[in-house]
Amino acid sequence: MAARRAAGEKCLEIKQIANGHYVYRSTSIWNKTEKKRHKVSTYLGKLDHELGLVEGKRFVEPVRVTSIKEQGNAQLLDRLFEDVVPVLQDAFPQHWPEIYSLAVLRALAPTSMHLAEGRWEKILDVREVRPNLDPRRLSEMFQAVGLDRFGQAELFQHLNMGGEELVYDLSSFFSRSNEVNMAEKGQNKDHIHLPQINLALLCSAEHGLPVMIRAPPGSVRDVATIYASVKEMGLEGKVLILDRGFFGENVMEFLDGKGLSYVLPARRNSDLYDLVSLGEDEFLYHDRIIRSGKASGDGHWLYRYEDTEMRLDEERNLLRVVNEGKISRREKKERMGRAGHILIVPDLDREPEDIYLLYERRDKVEKQFDVWKSTLQADRTWLRDDASIFGHVFVSFLSLYLLARLEQALRQAGLLSKYSARRTLDEYSKAYQVRSGEMELDYEVPKKVRELDQKLGLNIFPKLQS
Instruction: Give 128-146 pLDDT, tens digit per residue.
Output: 999 999 999 999 999 999 9
Question: What is the pTM (predicted TM-score) of this model?
Answer: 0.77
User: 20-34, 100-114, 264-278: lowest mean pLDDT where?
Assistant: 20-34
Q: What are phi and psi of 305, to 5 degrees?
A: -135, 150
Identity of the residue numbered 2: A
Confidence at residue 140, expressed as pLDDT on a 0 to 100 scale: 93
User: How is 126-178 classified by DSSP, letter by letter?
Assistant: TT-------HHHHHHHHHHHHH-HHHHHHHHHHHTSS-SEEEEEEEEEEBS-S
CB atoms within 10 A of CB 43: 17
Q: What burial letters (b/e) apply to 174-205, b meaning 16+ CB within 10 Å?
A: bbebeebebbeebeeeeeeebbbbbbbbbbbb
* Residue pair 241/165 in contact by the 8 Å Cβ criterion: yes
pLDDT digits (tens, 9 = 90+) for 404-461: 999 999 999 999 999 999 999 999 999 988 887 777 776 778 889 999 999 999 888 8
pLDDT score, position 261: 86
User: For residue 466, what pLDDT is reported?
Assistant: 39
Q: What are phi and psi of 12, to 5 degrees?
A: -85, 140
pLDDT, tens digit (0-9, with 9 covering 90-100), for 331-349: 888 888 888 999 999 988 9
